[in-house]
Structure 1
Amino acid sequence: MTTTTLSSRDFNQDTGRAKQAARKGPVVITDRGRPSHVLLTYRDYERLLGRGVSLLDALAQRDGGDFDFDPPRVEGLVKPADLGA
């Protein structure tokens, strides 16, 4: 993942470049030399919020897109079999 830094002036003059850079990683936008905003793709934003792709949406994809699926671990629902009897 690459982080790109752009001044607010550069961002205003070439938003297309900023959007393209955001596909490779976050874009830090500075105001008077200090970081003030971060531009992310919507997918990265959702991942940051913990709202990944649902299993239903992932299975419905027709383009064969790649996705991360990390279901929560559930403890205590499965008991080991008692084979001693």
Structure 2
Amino acid sequence: MANTTSAKKATRKIARRTIVNKSRRTQMRGAVRTVEEAIKSGDRNAALEAMKRAEPELMQAAQRNIIHKNNASRKVSRLTHAIAKLAK
């Protein structure tokens, strides 16, 4: 347990940030899930529309250190590749 006032404040701050980060992570995962579902259903237009929403979500999550930037780039790349395969 935190003893000093600064440690207690840090604990409160971490708790507030955790709530915000969980919300952002959930929002990001939901956006990615909609893209994956559109790809699975084979609907290229729906996948492209969902990707327009998901890519900024992923990149913002990377900027805010919710996920690593390489992780975000890899997810965008893989989803884009999967959408491109639908065209064939």
TM-score between the two structures when normalised by the length of structure 1: 0.26
Larger Rg belongs to: 1
More helix by share: 2
More strand by share: 1
Of the two structures, which has the highest relative contact order with CA contacts closer than 8 Å and spacing of 6 or more? 2
TM-score between the two structures when normalised by the length of structure 2: 0.25
